[in-house]
Amino acid sequence: MHKNIPQLLTLLNDENFHSGSDLGEKLNLTRSAVWKLIKQLEKLGIEVEVKTKLGYKITHNLEFLDARKIGQYFTVPHKQYLDKIIIFDELPSTNSYLIELAKNDPNYKECICLAESQTAGRGRLGRQWFSPYAKNILLSLLWRFSKEPNELGGLSLAVAIAVIESLERYGIKQDIKLKWPNDVLWQQHKLAGILVEISGENRHAYNTVIGIGLNLNMPKTHSQNIGQPFCDVAEISNATPERNKLTGLLIDQLLTTMEVFQKGSLQPFIEKWRELDVSYGQQVTIITPQEKISGIGRGIDGKGHFLLEDKLGKLHTFVAGEVSLEKNDMIMDF
């Protein structure tokens, strides 16, 4: 991203038109250099209105991330984490950043990394995670768990519950659901994704990076970058999402989840998972590299493994796989 883009966006972010020469003067650039920057904004996913005589205007105003505003939504015990927030305009991936940080200083404790955009955002199963500039939440938390990695297997499921709880605290009443292992869905469209990575052991504590991508404003024009049905908070709530508020509530809820998980692992979350599980009691199919099997979803076990009851009533346990819901004889892939 060009170094002048954050400043250009700050200038444009006031609901007014700005002429090319005015912007050029403030940025110390020629009008044609300003025009080139405007073209780059479109590549970042920011819609710009252009009018002869008037100049340029951002179609939808942006709410930039602000640590002070985010911290207002932390409950008192979590205020201490305020100075652990790092915000980037752009970086390859917030997860990769924290993995590197923990590698370089294995004693590093908690850190929260946020970005307005990522150039190499990573999803599960080697997929990419796309997000336009300053529109959604791209968050990673570094946490040290004194637990064995096999006990951390269910962590991403607990995190998925935290995402829904933070949306509830924000005021979203709609039926947001979970699809194993950790997709957050609304009406079968993906709202958020979670990528947990364990990055090395130091004195029996494991550096764990929890990455969350939560869609707040994801225009449908980005469908070609995403490759699966998706939705955003703007669509669900029918209002402009308050980005700093949602980020603050999400971090606060995530910190609570970390504390509960440290003490009780996945056990305290299993009942809540069952309530939110889109496939619980439903006809589903799970595909693994070895097999494809259909049956009734029966929730998760204490390790977060998926349970499926086949037509003979036998219970199968899955450590990995892609679950799809069957409705009216159609398989719905999310």
Cβ at position 174, least distance to ligand BTN in Å: 20
Is the backbone of residue 6 left (phi > 0), alpha (psi -120 to 50) or beta? alpha
Instruction: By CB under 6 A, tell whether 161 contacts ligand BTN.
Output: no
Among 117, 140, 156, 257, binds ligand BTN (CB under 6 A): 140
Its sign, for the CA torsion 263, 264, 266, 272, is negative
112 sits in which H/E element? strand 111-118
Let me know if 110 is exposed, middle or buried by CB neighbors in 10 A (0-12, 13-18, 19+): middle
Contact 324, 293 (CB under 8 A): no
Contact region with ligand BTN (CB under 6 A), list: 136-144, 226-234, 294-302, 326-334: 136-144
Cβ at position 7, least distance to ligand BTN in Å: 25
Contact region with ligand BTN (CB under 6 A), list: 20-28, 119-127, 166-174, 243-251: 119-127
How many residues make contact with ligand BTN (CB under 6 A)? Answer: 19
Dist. CA 226–CA 123, nearest whole Å: 11
Contact region with ligand BTN (CB under 6 A), list: 27-35, 74-82, 190-198, 220-228: 190-198
Instruction: By CB under 6 A, tell whether 181 contacts ligand BTN.
Output: no
Contact 334, 319 (CB under 8 A): no
Closest CA to 251 of 94, 65, 112, 148: 112
Contact region with ligand BTN (CB under 6 A), list: 58-66, 117-125, 200-208, 320-328: 117-125
Of 71 and 211, which CB lies nearer to ligand BTN in the complex structure? 211
Biggest CA–CA distance in the chain, Å, is 75
Of 127 and 303, which CB lies nearer to ligand BTN in the complex structure? 127
| Site of interaction with ligand BTN (CB under 6 A) | 93-95, 118, 121-124, 127, 129, 138-140, 193-195, 211-213
